[in-house]
Amino acid sequence: MMSIPLTSPREGIPPLLATPEEISAAAEQLSAGRGPIAIDTERASGFRYDDRAFLIQLRRQGSGTLLIDPEPYREDLGGLLGPAINGRDWIIHAAPSDLPCLAWLGLYPGRIFDTELAGRMAGLEHVNLAAMIELLLDQSLTKGHGAEDWSQRPLPDGWLNYAALDVELLLELAEAMTELLDSQGKLEWAEQEFEYIRAGHQDIEAPPELGWRDTKGVSTLTTPEQLLIARELWLERDSIAYEEDRAVSRILANKVLIEVARHTPKNERELRQIKGFPFRRPGVARWCFDIIQQARATPRNTWPTRIRPPRGIPSRRTWQTEFPESWERFTQTREKVDALSLELQIPSENLIRPAALRTAVWESTEGKQSNSPADLIALLQDQEVRPWQIELVTPLLNDALFPRT
């Protein structure tokens, strides 16, 4: 049976609302509606310095769909729109992607229902929005503009159409997923997960302040010269990106930055030969090598050194070779969790985070924090494992870690 194509919003493409008067009127319209609010954002992280929202899509029964442009009055948006939507129930797809940029605007939900996470909990094979709508609502969405530069203005009608469709059926999808989870006995589990996500975003007010050591791959650099090059390239790149409001990847991708630092090139020719380096971009090799040379001219006692993390859980290889009995317990435990995952049709990482599982096994075999089933529960709670997860995985962990004699 073919799904019904949904090529445009039922009420037509909504206008883009950008002035304080228009946003205030939208807030009144939303306040007059009923039930939860479907919400989504479009961002431009591949083009702009940060991951802020450049479009907010909202839909509520009795209110219809509203498209808000937050950019012109970003600092005032919380006061304009917040009274209508803050503290209310939100329906959102992939909440961890959208909640941060909404929080930066002063917008916070009371409760959330994450349709993507609901799909994972329900054991659906595909949990992207279009796939879930086609499976559960028998309608297919017109897609194709997710990776656009949403910071540009004006926005084409085709993009606005795409954006409006993202919330067109979100309320209905949440209803269908609620029924499905309830029928599977998983609704309460999902609600605990939703609340965990919401609470983790309730105190966010601004983008996180990241430093050069937070860049993926920095931990693989070992010499002061490598770390020096990584630091100075990162600082120069970040300064330019912030000043020009450009994505850092458009100046020099993280992976390339790390490779340049790793190779410590001695001239531009060596620099251009590094895999992935954008040598065809005019001036980038000269810019990059000038930074490297200037960095090398600084006093060596100012060069950064490697920071070794505090000793904790060993790497997989070390654990396996130096602590074989403990590793065997970990393998047994992981197999039990995987078996439960298959039985419940819930991904194993949603039953318990892999890092939490590793910590539980290590501390119960080689560490000092878990010497009994009671200690284990306290440890899991410290690892922010939710009550429903503890209830399900603790018997498996106890069997593997504290077998009865």
CA nearest neighbour of 113 among 87, 132, 94? 94
pLDDT at 299 exceeding the cut of 70? yes
- Say which CATH topology domain 213-302 has: DNA polymerase; domain 1 (1.10.150)
Distance between CA 127 and CA 94 in Å, rounded?
9
Q: What pLDDT digit, counting tens, does each position of 222-233 carry?
A: 999 999 999 999
Beta strand extents in 199-345 (DSSP E only):
none
Q: How does DSSP classify residue 151?
A: T
CA nearest neighbour of 193 among 86, 126, 119, 113? 113
CATH class of 4-201: alpha beta
- What 3-state class would DSSP assign to 92? strand
- The whole-number pLDDT of residue 310 equals 75
Q: Which long-range contacts (CB under 8 A, 24 or more apart) does 243-249 make?
A: 244/49, 245/48, 245/49, 246/47, 246/48, 246/49, 247/45, 247/46, 247/47, 247/48, 247/49, 248/49, 249/46
H or E element at residue 196: helix 187-201
Residue 33: how many other CB atoms lie within 10 Å: 18
Question: pTM score, two decimals?
Answer: 0.93
pLDDT at 405 exceeding the cut of 80? no
Identical fold for domains 213-302 and 316-401, yes or no, is yes
Percent of the chain with pLDDT over 90: 92
pLDDT at 173 exceeding the cut of 60? yes
- The whole-number pLDDT of residue 1 equals 58
Burial class (CB in 10 A: 0-12, 13-18, 19+), 223: middle
Residue range 248-258: mean pLDDT, rounded: 96
Residue range 4-17: mean pLDDT, rounded: 93
Distance between CA 73 and CA 91 in Å, rounded?
25
3 band by pLDDT with thresholds 50, 70 and 90? confident
Domain boundaries, the chain: 4-201, 213-302, 316-401
Question: Has domain 316-401 been given CATH number 3.40.50.2300?
Answer: no
